[in-house]
Structure 1
Amino acid sequence: MSQQFSPTGFKVLPTVVKHLLIINCLFFLATFTFERFHIDLTEYLGLHFFKASHFHPYQLITYMFMHANFGHLFFNMFALWMFGNTLENLWGSKRFLLFYMVCGIGAGLCQELVQYIQYATSLANYATVNMGGNIVTMDTYLNMMNTVGASGAIYGLLLAFGMMFPNSMIYFYFLIPIKAKWFVIGYAVIELITGLTGVDNVAHFAHLGGMLFGLILILYWKKNPAGPNKNFRKLKDVFQSLKKRSRTKYTHYEEVYDKVPRSDEDYNYQKAQKEKDIDAILDKVAKNGYSSLTDEEKEFLFKNSK
């Protein structure tokens, strides 16, 4: 049974998506503002080829917030709103932000790799480049390789949406209904073909790189539901440290479970309820991390882990 995807309005946007929209728009406005003072922010914040003199490592992050024109910004932000809204509500803000940044940085790394292959196979042995009669130095030419845009991260979100909601309906050009899984596959094929043919000046392999890194991260999360930075193997050490804490009050869990059951029925009910509470706490750890637990929950989990 298929689902129909209908994004909610701006007033209920989750935190990270909202702030990403604002930051991208501010960077876009700043680009034109600084141009009046003859300062090209794209030159500083766009992603240069790593062998170029204008390259800086921080550009692997800043390039995601720069856009070439209004159309570039609009369609990326529309996709961020459309897919990011649902994914952040599904994953939570921390995991969503991690995914977005990993996809964006991964896209940049893939673009750097493709540019290096181009450089190593056709440019490395030359000191100058003939650009239609205009001879420029190799360093000048390499500095022209400048990538901007959130598209790599957006393509990662597109892939994630297709994997999380494969049968949801997306209206292509607002008219043609298509399932998310086919929409994602179709876009990936188009990006691969246009990237190999080189028919335009778009960083198609950066888009594919965002999808690739997104795929790797989702598969990792599926294999390790606790996710990065939430390693359950560390809980044992945390529980040991809790032994040193002195308790100052009688907790809710003690009130419920430290009572001596009056009958077998009470015992079975108490046991089933305890397992349910333990599962709920572990789910909370998996979604939001151990630090999200209250002292009462930590004490209860420690006591029942023995």
Structure 2
Amino acid sequence: MFNFTPVVRVLLLINVLVFLVTNDAIIDQFGLHSFLSDQFNPIQLLTHMFLHGGFNHILSNMIGLIVFGPMLEQFWGPRRFTFFYFFCGFGSALLFSAVNYFEMHDVYEAIQAYRANPSFESFSAFIDQHAGSYYDRLVPFIEQFKKFPNDSKTIQDSIAIANKIFTNQVDEPMVGASGAVFGVIMGFGLLFPNTELFLLFLPIPIKAKYLVIMYGGYELYSGIYRAQSDNVAHFAHIGGMLFAFILIKYWGSQRKTFY
């Protein structure tokens, strides 16, 4: 059914084996943390690519790898394909980390402003903007704060909650091969743009170049207008596609150099 080329086979095997032994402690240690986190370690720029948060997560990534990866490996050869895969993975991690740094810096600045002038109104505004998936758990406290806006203990608790929100977000690791796989999808679309693909959710064939445009547009929109409940690292996906585009265009330009 699938043509498992050597590098694709090894990447698939490593990802599956790592998934089978993965637990929360491994994800905390080897998932990619924010540059602002005390848990950040440079090795996480590599190790996060082999960790996944659940069965559906690894399934979707490995399907993308085995569908689009073999043709690229056959076209480039194992060494160039391996370099391409990890280049896209590193690139996705760097773009994600850069965006995350600015987002977390904004949260930190908001906390500093709240500490300087705590009130129910400013706490409510902070929560609306930065609480994300923690919002529902804070509803009882918000209601209590609204009833007793001048209570000193409640104000101190609100400051502690704001600090906790920052800590939880900055220490939340990003995992998955998605960045590298999205790079592979982009590479496939650039090199084989008119190849027709059949997708599970579309009854008609679609050319690879249009699939890449659809994926890229969706990820860009979702990254900019991300819902509070959305825990997908869209900018990691965009980073993988962007670095794939850059590398393929660079390799293409080298062919035009004569000696």
Q: Residue 30 of structure 1 corresponds to which residue in structure 2? A: 21
Q: Give how far 1:232 is off.
A: 9.2
Is the partner of 2:189 in helix, strand or coil? helix
Q: Does 1:98 align with 2:83?
A: yes
Trace 1:33-72 onto structure 2 (pairs within 5 A). 35=23, 40-72=25-57
Q: Residue 207 of structure 1 corresponds to which residue in structure 2? A: 237
TM value normalised by structure 1 = 0.65
Q: Give how far 1:45 is off.
A: 1.0
Q: Tell me which protein shows more helix as a share of its residues.
A: 2
Q: Which amino acid aligns with 1:152?
A: G
User: Structure 1 segments of 4 or more deviating over 6 A?
Assistant: 127-130
Rounded to whole Å, the distance in 1 between the matches of 2:18 and 2:242 is 27
On the 8 A contact 1:51/1:142 being kept in 2, the answer is no
Q: Tell me which protein shows more strand as a share of its residues.
A: 1
Q: Does 1:190 align with 2:212?
A: no
Is the partner of 2:9 in helix, strand or coil? helix
Rounded to whole Å, the distance in 1 between the matches of 2:9 and 2:89 is 17
Q: Residue 145 of structure 1 corresponds to which residue in structure 2? A: 172
Change (3 A) 1:194 1:138: closer
Aligned-residue sequence identity (percent) comes to: 42
Rounded to whole Å, the distance in 2 between the matches of 1:144 and 1:51 is 8
Q: Give how far 1:120 is off.
A: 2.4
Q: Give how far 1:125 is off.
A: 5.4
Q: Deviations over 1:104-139 (max 9, x none)?
A: 010011110111111223324536897525724477
Q: Give how far 1:140 is off.
A: 2.8
Q: Which amino acid aligns with 2:215?
A: Y
Q: Give how far 1:142 is off.
A: 4.3
Rounded to whole Å, the distance in 1 between the matches of 2:243 and 2:177 is 14
On the 8 A contact 2:104/2:170 being kept in 1, the answer is no
| CA RMSD of superposed structures (Å) | 2.3
Q: Indicate the structure whose relative CO is greater, using CA pairs within 8 Å and at least 6 residues apart.
A: 2
The runs of 5 or more residues in structure 1 that have no matched partner are: 1-7, 234-306
Rounded to whole Å, the distance in 1 between the matches of 2:48 and 2:38 is 16
Q: Which amino acid aligns with 1:52?
A: S
Is the partner of 1:48 in helix, strand or coil? coil
Rounded to whole Å, the distance in 2 between the matches of 1:225 and 1:124 is 48
Trace 1:1-306 onto structure 2 (pairs within 5 A). 9=2, 12-31=3-22, 35=23, 40-124=25-109, 126=111, 131=134, 132=138, 133=141, 135=161, 136-137=163-164, 140-173=167-200, 175-199=203-227, 200-225=230-255
Rounded to whole Å, the distance in 2 between the matches of 1:143 and 1:121 is 12
Rounded to whole Å, the distance in 2 between the matches of 1:117 and 1:142 is 13
On the 8 A contact 2:220/2:238 being kept in 1, the answer is yes
Rounded to whole Å, the distance in 1 between the matches of 2:53 and 2:17 is 14
The runs of 5 or more residues in structure 2 that have no matched partner are: 116-125, 128-133, 142-159
Rounded to whole Å, the distance in 1 between the matches of 2:59 and 2:210 is 24
Q: Residue 266 of structure 1 corresponds to which residue in structure 2? A: none
Q: Which amino acid aligns with 1:162?
A: G
Worse-matched range after superposition: 43-52 or 174-183: 174-183
